[in-house]
Structure 1
């Protein structure tokens, strides 16, 4: 959100929006806190649902710059011709592009936006713009802690440049704690809002998966009354075959705890997704099953706490790709027996029944 806001301001000033819907703003509690910190009213923001992008495109007045993602959602694929620039830190998914694309694996996309401002218009770095960028990098990189596995040398370098350029920045750790508390404040949110708060999705021809980040222990969410019915209704409304719940919480010493829940009313899908993630190696999530009272939820403790959703998404896309590539093995010819198979040595007729026959043939 900050990347879109600051880079739009940068473009407006130098060369002369954001995909969030207005009703979703309440779910962006850390963004709201950061805006409040800088004295910006949310009423000044322009939201996606206030614009008719297709009408602008028809009139030749649409130029889109993508920040913090590098492909348009399927629902906006017809707007691709209006994309003029991409700035992102996620895995590159664009197949071809006729516009400038800057994708770097840094901890925060705000690092890349801050770099543009520092190089192209450093005079714009007043206390407001500086604090917006500074706070976002701190949150994304978890207060620049190496243990979180997010921060890169460029994140650290840009943060130091911001501190040198803007003398009125808040104290680093205090700002991070303030924004982190706001980010993890889910009080007053119902289950649907908690699932919507930080939601992404991936889809293939045969399956659609939703991934919600929950800012509380997984069990605390799963004990909410009627939660399984709410998960079912939410998945149906969003068109998901399975919904993944990635929970993050912290110990008293501020060490992260990650848990993963896989929900689906269809057991084969739930087991398929769970099994793939359990055996994943790039990265290895180090999943360990934990007990769960809900029959349609498979729950896991995630030992690899550095594996955030950013790292899980490519795994899920690879999983969907394997579904597309799976080809049914052609049946063995009727008169052919593979040497060494159970039927090759004959079968006692007394032992034949439909169940045994099915097992032997499949073997």
Structure 2
């Protein structure tokens, strides 16, 4: 049985007519940069998330960079975040000369553990970046409360969680700033790189928009040192088509995850846990297993692709060797990174494929 880790081909075939038409409309218009599709996408994103402003940009990584720049994060500042995520989160902190300060994760959600945050706050701390890992928001009420007590900014890294909800509010609109990614494999993905920053702060939105476009508010008038972080019109057009159907795919993804949970119950893997006051869009369906490498090898031999998100915590990455962290500070991240494994996941994964995967895991 052929199984794709993420079935982007099936999704494209379903919406192919509309996607092709949208791409050709951009080609006919020749408005490749900052075209009308970008403006319309941003308005649709605001309506979807509830945020007052959406500033689209060239990637999820640039979204984080723009958010940090808009908050005036400077060399020597400290930003608290999780060590168990993709490097982009901490990379952008370090890119600006600031210091990523890692806090261990919660054993059940794999998101940053808010109970451990305050002990890492110092006079140099300027912001907290919780990551909504695997599509499930972090404990945002607790994190926002901590930030309020210490006059810090919370930047929600929602690169994996666009479309999820926390206590009735959409991810990307759970703090002063939210950032997301439209990388092709995300629950809402384009056909290249793309991202967005969300805020309901008018002043901050104006600054973000200028920083995204070389720091200029008017043509050739540059208030800030910015970046070339624009989302191109073709990607915006593709996202507009996919966004129309996104709310149809999200519950299907949840149903796929629920079916996995049932099929894998009683076996050797620990299935994901989603807290009852929030939802997940399951950017990945990640399980924990003691004999990960052996199981991955067995599944691969049976045509089932797997991945590891993420095998090396950030404090053990060579790029952050200068921070001199002791792995003993992060017992949960250490355990999870050695056991985590992601299975095929998409709204187009069939029941038959899931049963095949589960039987392979159970050794049948």
Tell whether the structures are fold-level matches, with TM greater than 0.5.
Answer: no
Q: Which has the larger radius of gyration?
A: 1
Larger relative contact order (CA 8 Å, sep ≥ 6): 2
TM-score computed with the length of structure 2 as normaliser: 0.32
Structure number with the higher helix fraction is: 1
